[in-house]
Structure 1
Amino acid sequence: MATQKLYAGAKLREMRTRFGLTQKDFAAKLGVSLPYLNQMENNNRPVSTTVVLALAQEFGMDVTELSTGDSERLVSDMREALADPVFADATPPLADLRLAASNAPALARAFLALHRSYRQTHERLASLDEALGREDARLEASPWEEVRDFFHYCDNYIDAVDRAAENFANQGTGPGRIGETAQSVLERMGITIELSDIAPLRQFDAEAGLLRLSTRASPETRLFQTLLQVALLRQDKLLEATLDFARFRSDEARAIAKIGLANYFAGAALMPYGAFLEAAQTHRHDLEVLGARFGASIEQVAHRLSTLQRPGAKGIPFFFARVDQAGTITKRHSATRLQFARFGGACPLWNVHRAFETPGRFLRQLAETPDGVRYVNLARDVSKPGGSFGAPVRRYAIALGCEVRHADALVYADTLDVTNAEAFEPIGISCRICERKTCHQRSVPPLERRLSIDANRRGVLPYEVN
């Protein structure tokens, strides 16, 4: 079998810039000629084995980063954007998208930002009551989507915040004592924690020095909210510096991102990187065991597993998503090659949708995407009661999965026949960019295929995909 050539020009340029090296100096450290480096940086030549070894030895680089990162996500995101009917007559081939993602990632992101602006403009025009009824109506990118993309393209791993949280956790008296550490820190700041029968999960009064936590919330949620408040008070400079680096386009996006970073700190402090990674590997990623070990909820554990992407100490690359009852993905992250739909619902064949039918149970699924990659998928419903009679219950389903090559490290893969090709269900990303011809759940035709319509013949679909 022929070895796939590795092209990583953008990664090489990024590394050279990060170390402040000229092409000449960088070439010398890698042991190659200047023209050869120039060709690699422009993806005219693949990265050689000699260069890969030099990157690891000279710069301590995790060489797996060369074949992962933004490129695959950018290709997937562009394909989804180009599935918009507005591009029906001008769809570039997949090879061109890969070249753009590898050689001009900034241009690719600019295209995605432009398409988001177009979609939002179209949506506002379709909702005249909103556009005409508000004086402050603006046609700009959604702050929420901007923040979501920030975490998405950081691989959902923020190194400085993660390490700060781990250092904070290590100040404690031992495993499972992070709550005592957080309470002690707040007390030294003159802040009192009070449990109250209130609707908000957390309410902080800076003037009174009072942090009120709702007794209606679970103990795991109250602990998480305590750590979140610690992040906002003790790590403000770090959070603000990270926000400065991100350069958000609006104050709203910056404010949302700050809460996101505080949430990140809370999760990383509750489940510190080194200890959590070791426990995950020891217990074969059993969510319930890890939840009990670190005092975290199933959702918190699943989300944390998807962030274990520290260079030099990476965990299994997982994807994580949370889906509401309408099928809308409300949280998403993928460290795998599987990318989620940004401009539509999730594939209906994905087992996450069936989790609502079996509350309190883990559902397992062997699945294969159209690109031939196979996954072990896990899904479970998550209910969040309102805490009082008549209060609305929020219901979600969470999904966690990884490529099948990691099955031996998952307790959930036990008894699954991962060697049987027939055991893998065909799933996709979204119908417009899924090339499967006979899917019985297809809602719209695939963008890049021609259709045949025969009025005298009807199969599963009212057309045939060529």
Structure 2
Amino acid sequence: MAVQKLYAGVKLRELRSRLGLTQKAFAEKLGVSLPYLNQMENNNRPISTTVVVNLAQEFGFDVTELQSGDEARLVGDMREALADPIFSGPTPPLADLRLAASNAPALTRAFLDLHSAYRQTHERLASLDEALGREDARLQPSPWEEVRDFFHYCDNYIDAVDRAAERFATQASTKPSPVAAAVSALGAHGITVHFSDTDGALRHFDPDTRRLHISTRAAAPTQAFQLFMQLALITQDKLLEATLDLARFHSHQARAIAKIGLANYFAGAALMPYGAFLQAAQDTRHDLERLADQFGASLEQVAHRLSTMQRPGAKGIPFFFVRVDPAGTITKRHSATTLQFARYGGACPLWNVHRAFETPGRWLRQLAETPDGVRYFCLARDVTKSGGAFDAPTRRYAIGLGCEVRHAGALVYADHMDVEAAQAYEPIGISCRICERRTCHQRAVPPLERELRVELNHRGTLPYQID
């Protein structure tokens, strides 16, 4: 198989800017000529092996950062956006999309924001939302989508928040349990914790009385998580606000949602501190049940945390994580891999995460291949969240976790699977709207980038053929 050339001009320019070096000085340290550096920074030439070695030796640069997933994410998002019928002309070639994503990522994101704003307004009109007569009917992404994209393009790793949580966990390591550590830390700030029946609320904090109520109906991992989340909101407010300032959200609603997301991030990182969790994941070969037991966390919390282990210089396996409800709606999605999730609509029905509801309490394993030829090991399981009472609603989800198959040997779940057999891989896609597979028996809608041919006297698996 041919070795893929590495184009990372944007990363090179960012590093040089951080170091405060001119192109000439930077070229000298990398052992290349000034014209050659200029060509690499503009993606006219791939990054050479010599440059990769010198980046590591001269600057201690984590060269895995050169293979950031940003370009793949942007290309996937652009392909889906351009499949929208509003773009009536021919779809730009894939090479052009890759060039735009690598050379002009800011412009590409602006294009995606514009398309997202168009869709938002279009959906309001289609649902008779009376948007034309309202003052808030301006073109802007929904707060939820804006926050989702913020974490999406951060590789779901927020370094400053992660390290703050790890420092707290180290200082609190003498406590008998995560709950005890959180209660003690909150007490140091004059907050008393009460475990009680909170009428359906998992957590309620009264700033006036300085009382925090945690539901006794919630499972122990959920109680610990909610305690750590409140701790983040109280003790890490300056850090959270500084991070939000850098994100520059378009609305106060998006900023508020993101603050909750960052507090949640702190909670997960405090419950499963980076260094200890990474070592345990490697020692247990990523056995989620053993990790959940060791850190007092739920399976969903562990799977989510595994998708965040992207600290520069100490990266774990790049995982994707997704949570799907019984209707097939993606309610959480994070990816440190090249696998991209559909921004609109549901995920591919051939993916094993949809079958998890059929086999409650069991792990489902799948070897899958996407249309771009990348192969993945996928893991899925159902998750049930009880309301804690007979008349309380029970929430059901399926969680999916996976990585490129080249990492499968580090997962206990991949044992005894024939990862070398081509026929073992199921063909999956991202979304039917942009999937290139012509003969998929589960296709819901035609691909928008292809011409259709309908024959009245012939019917195959689909009522049309894709040219």
TM-score by length of 1: 0.97
Distance (whole Å) between structure 2 residues aligned to residue 206 and residue 438 of structure 1? 59
Q: What's the secondary structure of 2:333's corresponding residue?
A: strand
Q: Partners of 1:103 and 1:303 in 2: how far apart?
A: 31
How many residue pairs are counted as aligned between the two chains? 466
**What residue in structure 1 maps to residue 398 of structure 2?**
397
Classify 1:263/1:56 alpha carbon distance in 2 versus 1 (closer, same or farther; 3 Å): same
- For the Cα contact (< 8 Å) 2:352–2:380, is it kept in 1? yes
Indicate the larger mover: 450-459 or 39-48: 450-459
Q: How does 1:140-151 map to 2 (within 5 A)?
A: 140-151=140-151
Q: Is the 8 A contact 1:176 1:295 kept in 2?
A: no
Cross-structure match for 2:213: 212
Superposition deviation, residue 446 in structure 1: 2.1
1:193 corresponds to which residue?
193
For 2:97 and 2:110, the matched residues in 1 are separated by 14
Give a deviation string over 1:339-386, Cα, whole Å, max 9, x none: 000022100000111111111111111111111111111111111122
- Tell me, in whole angstroms, the C-alpha distance in 1 between the residues paired with 2:236 and 2:416: 45
Q: Indicate conservation of the 8 Å contact 2:121/2:137, yes or no.
A: no
For residue 140 of structure 1, report the CA deviation from its aligned partner.
2.3
Per-residue CA distance 1:13-65 (angstroms, 9 max, x = gap)? 11112222222222222122221111111111111111111111122111122
Aligned partner of 2:51 in structure 1 is 51
* Residues 407, 231 of structure 1: alpha-carbon distance in 2 compared, 3 angstrom cutoff: same
| Structure 1 residue 238 corresponds to structure 2 residue 235 | no
Percentage identity across paired residues of the two chains: 76
| Counterpart for residue 77 of structure 1 | 77
- Indicate the residue corresponding to 1:90 in structure 2: 90
Partner SS for 1:431: coil
Confirm or deny: 8 A CA contact 2:69 2:337 kept in the other structure.
no
What CA distance in whole angstroms lies between the structure 1 residues aligned with 2:132 and 2:466?
A: 42
2:427 pairs with 1:410: no
Change (3 A) 1:20 1:206: same
Residue equivalent to 2:461 = 460
Cα deviation for residue 130 of structure 1 reads 4.7
Deviation per CA, 1:88-120, whole angstroms, max 9, x where unpaired? 423111111000001000110000000000101
Please tell me whether the aligned partners of residues 176 and 293 of structure 1 are also in contact (alpha carbons under 8 angstroms).
no
Which 10-residue stretch deviates more, 408-417 or 154-163?
408-417
Q: In angstroms, what is the RMSD of aligned CA positions?
A: 1.5
Cα deviation for residue 445 of structure 1 reads 1.8
**In the alignment, structure 1 residue 101 sits paired with structure 2 residue 101:** yes
Over residues 318-340 of structure 1, what are the superposed CA-to-partner deviations in whole Å (9 max), with x where a residue is unaligned?
00001111111111111111100
Alignment partner of 2:194: what SS? strand
Per-residue deviation, residues 300-327 of structure 1 (Å, max 9, x unmatched): 0000000000111111110000111111
Q: What is the rounded CA distance, in whole Å, between the counterparts of 1:277 and 1:425 in structure 2?
A: 30
Alignment check: 8 A CA contact 1:23 1:38 kept: yes
**Equivalent residue of 2:456, what SS?**
coil
Q: Contact conserved, 2:452 with 2:465, CA < 8 A, in 1?
A: yes
The residue number in structure 2 matching 1:343 is: 344
Is residue 2:331 matched to residue 1:330?
yes
Superposition misfits of 4+ residues, deviation over 3 angstroms: 132-139, 173-176
Tell me, in whole angstroms, the C-alpha distance in 1 between the residues paired with 2:225 and 2:336: 24
Equivalence map 1:62-461=2 (5 Å): 62-131=62-131, 136-174=136-174, 177-198=177-198, 199-461=200-462
More displaced, 178-187 or 376-385? 178-187
Q: Secondary structure at the match of 2:86?
A: helix
Q: TM-score, normalised by structure 2?
A: 0.97
Q: 1:439 to 1:106 in 2, by over 3 A?
A: same
Gaps spanning 5+ residues in structure 2: where? none
**Counterpart amino acid of residue 189 in structure 2:** M
Question: What is the CA–CA distance in structure 2 between the aligned matches of 1:176 and 1:108, rounded to whole Å?
Answer: 49
Q: How has the CA–CA distance of structure 1 residues 164 and 76 changed in structure 2, closer, same or farther, with 3 Å as cutoff?
A: same
Structure 1 alignment gaps of length 5 or more? none
Contact conserved, 1:81 with 1:343, CA < 8 A, in 2? no
**Superposition deviation, residue 442 in structure 1:** 0.7
> SS at 1:141's partner residue?
coil
Q: In 2, Cα distance between the equivalents of 1:387 and 1:319? A: 30
Displacement of 1:135 after TM fit? 5.9
Residue of structure 2 equivalent to 1:31: 31
Q: Structure 1: how far apart are the matches of 2:286 and 2:444?
A: 35
CA distance in 2, matches of 1:88, 1:94: 17
Could you tell me which amino acid in structure 2 is paired with residue 49 of structure 1?
A: T
1:382-411 CA deviation, whole Å, 9 max, x = no partner?
Answer: 111222232222111110001111111111
Q: Give secondary structure in 2 for the equivalent of 1:230.
A: helix
Residue of structure 2 equivalent to 1:22: 22
Which region of structure 1 is more displaced relative to structure 2, 170-179 or 225-234? 170-179
Matches of 2:139 and 2:111, distance apart in 1? 17
1:139 Cα deviation after fit: 4.0
Amino acid at match of 1:254: R
Q: Are the equivalent residues in 1 in contact too, given 2:140–2:250 (CA < 8 A)?
A: no
Q: Superposed, which structure 2 residues align to 1:6-17 within 5 Å?
A: 6-17=6-17
* Structure 2 CA distance for aligned equivalents of residues 28 and 41 of structure 1: 15
